[in-house]
Structure 1
């Protein structure tokens, strides 16, 4: 028998939580009821086996219900952390925006956010990603090695900022 594992906390910023809640509310209050109405209408049109509206509607409803379940679980597990409240602003913690430089002196700015908020294209890196794990607790000037699929890379922490600073 396996011991029950405590899942890692699902850290999330207040804005990230609001986005999850907004998506949940929109699906639950708008999308789902519209779809149920279409399915009811389609079901009243007779033979369901060849009724595209009915078949597609049921499939779409299952997708929405799956997404609602996922969003609900993520929100229940969420631990909202406001980076503005971080007392130690000299080290990298959740919500920090960090400027790092690689061996070739290429600079990039990353913000450590909840895994549900991650968007690499916008410089938002999930808290449990390899680079975020490597940077946690670092101070300006520290060197950190990150194991990436393409091999290890070393980064220097150039700057650390927090919102509202």
Structure 2
């Protein structure tokens, strides 16, 4: 389970929404019933004040219930941004981008909603990040200036791709 996140943008890709919906269904239909059975079993043993199984599984139930509440509210608020052919050739939400700096350092990532960058989402950055904001609406061979804690950095766009990644 991931922790609660303060988010700015309510945008998400269709894949991201499917992932959140899958997590919600798993928590509610599989994981919670499993933990509920453990709580009932541990409660049947008697004295709950000294029962570590009972306490631990009740704690897990509270975490699950909190995450379920968060996911239900969050999923309702999200807006799926579908791919549109007009996006081709420019950086928009959902784009895979390869960039390079003057020293030849290359980075590849996908610009997605803030709900999609956690867990196993390797290579994803939030649309709210300074890098994503600097790249929006740019084309291949354009450069982007990104203000970082260490100063201004310049990146050149090598590739933009929408379907399936780089």
The 5 A counterparts of 1:1-165 are: 8-83=8-83, 85-118=84-117, 122-163=122-163
The total of aligned residue pairs comes to 158
Maintained 8 Å contact 1:9/1:77 = no
Maintained 8 Å contact 2:32/2:64 = yes
Maintained 8 Å contact 2:100/2:157 = yes
Distance 1:90 1:97 in 2: 11
Distance 1:140 1:17 in 2: 29
Maintained 8 Å contact 2:9/2:114 = no
Consecutive aligned runs of 4 or more in structure 1 exceeding 3 Å deviation: none
Superposed CA deviations along residues 103-135 of structure 1, whole A, max 9, x for unmatched, are 212222221112121269732111111111111
Distance 1:108 1:143 in 2: 14
Q: Gapped runs of 5+ residues in structure 2?
A: 1-6
Distance 1:45 1:88 in 2: 61
Q: Gapped runs of 5+ residues in structure 1?
A: 1-6
Which deviates further from its counterpart, 85-94 or 55-64?
Answer: 85-94
Which residue of structure 2 aligns with residue 4 of structure 1?
none
Offset of residue 58 of structure 1: 0.8
Maintained 8 Å contact 1:9/1:79 = no
Offset of residue 8 of structure 1: 4.5
Distance 1:47 1:40 in 2: 13
SS in 1 for 2:146: strand
SS in 2 for 1:103: coil
**CA RMSD in angstroms, aligned pairs only:** 2.1
Offset of residue 30 of structure 1: 0.8
Maintained 8 Å contact 2:9/2:128 = no
